[in-house]
Amino acid sequence: MKSFKDEVREQGVLYIVPTPVGNLEDMTFRAVSVLKEADLILAEDTRTSSVLLKHYDIHGRLESHHKFNEHKTVEMVRDRIAAGLNVALISDAGTPGISDPGFLLVRTCVQAGITVQTLPGATALIPAIVSSGYPCDRFCFEGFLPVKKGRQTRLNELASETRTMVFYESPYRLVKTLEQFAEFFGPDRECSVAREISKKFEEHRRGTLEEVASWFREHEPKGEIVIVVSGRR
Q: What is the pLDDT of residues 18-67, one digit of tens each?
A: 999 989 999 999 999 999 999 999 999 999 999 999 999 999 999 999 88
Yes or no: say if 12 and 112 are a contact pair by the CB < 8 Å rule: no
Tell me the pLDDT tens digit for each residue of 144-162: 999 989 999 999 999 999 9
The helix/strand count (H/E) of the chain reads as 8, 10
How confident is the model at residue 146, as a pLDDT? 93
Which pairing describes strands 225-229 and 190-195: parallel, antiparallel, or unpaired?
antiparallel
Judge whether residue 125 has pLDDT over 60: yes
Q: What is the mean pLDDT of the chain?
A: 93
Where residue 3 falls among pLDDT bands split at 50, 70, 90?
Answer: low
Q: What does the alpha-carbon distance between residue 150 and residue 128 come to, in Å, rounded to a whole number?
A: 25
DSSP state of 5: G
How confident is the model at residue 9, as a pLDDT? 52
Question: What's the distance, Cα to Cα, between the start and end of the chain in Å?
Answer: 51
Looking at residue 86, its pLDDT comes to: 97
Q: What is the pLDDT of residues 197-230, one digit of tens each?
A: 999 899 999 999 999 999 999 999 999 999 999 9
Distance from C-alpha of 35 to C-alpha of 233, rounded to nearest angstrom = 45
Residue 174, SS3?
Answer: helix
- pLDDT value of position 229: 98
Ramachandran class of 97: left when φ > 0, alpha when ψ lies in -120 to 50, beta otherwise = left
Q: What is the mean pLDDT of residues 83-98?
A: 95
For 34, other C-beta atoms within 10 Å of its C-beta total 24
**Segment of 6-10, 21-25, 97-101, 167-171 carrying the highest mean pLDDT:** 167-171
Q: Write down the pLDDT at residue 68.
A: 83
Q: In this structure, is the dihedral angle defined by the CA atoms of residues 42, 81, 13 and 114, taken in order, positive or negative?
A: positive
Q: Using 50, 70 and 90 to split pLDDT, how confident is the model at 10?
A: confident
Torsion of CA 209, 165, 170, 119, to 10 degrees: 150
Domains of the chain with CATH codes: 4-118 (3.40.1010.10), 125-229 (3.30.950.10)
Task: Map residue 45 onto helix, strand or coil.
Answer: coil
